[in-house]
Amino acid sequence: MRFRVRKAAHVLERVGLAMAGAACGLFVGAYVGSAIPPLTTQGFLVLMMLLGVVGFYLGIDTPQLPFDEAHSQIDAAEFLSSAGTLCATFAALASVAVIVLRLEADGALSWLVLVAWIAGVAMQIVAGTKARMRK
């Protein structure tokens, strides 16, 4: 019984992270889509949300390598996960700030946010996949 409760809690946590990723992707898509006319489509919004879902589901809460002082090495999956989370959430925060504060951002900031978002979720996806393959 206890195992099932822990498993259910873990699934709920991961679903919550995926929903947070979708929300972040929605904000990035809304901001970037409004600033770059060719990206003003529902398909673009859905793509940004899906990237967020997959990235945050796989890339946050990755299984860590066991610590071994004799073979201390950098855990690439853990590093990619943390760097990806930082990039993706920075892009989402910048998007929310521009939208909520009604700022006039130039095209360069829009492209920077888009690149940071894509790089961040890509790092999360790679990290999560790498960490799960070594199990």
> Minimal CA–CA distance to 101: which of 112, 113, 93, 109?
93
Residues 6 or more apart in contact with residue 122 via CB below 8 angstroms:
55, 84
Residue 123 pLDDT grade (very low, low, confident, very high; cuts 50, 70, 90)? very high
- Per-residue model confidence as pLDDT tens digits over 10-52: 889 989 999 999 999 999 999 999 999 899 899 999 999 999 9
- Per-residue model confidence as pLDDT tens digits over 71-88: 567 778 888 999 999 999
Sequence length of the chain is: 135
* Average pLDDT across the chain, whole number: 88
Sequence ranges of the domains in the chain: 2-133
Q: Residue 70 pLDDT > 90, yes or no?
A: no
101 vs 134: CA distance, rounded Å: 44
Looking at residue 91, its pLDDT comes to: 96
CB 123 within 8 A of CB 56: no
- DSSP symbols for 52-92: HHHHHHHHSSPPPPPP-GGG----HHHHHHHHHHHHHHHHH
- Per-residue model confidence as pLDDT tens digits over 97-119: 999 999 887 789 999 999 999 99
Looking at residue 67, its pLDDT comes to: 67
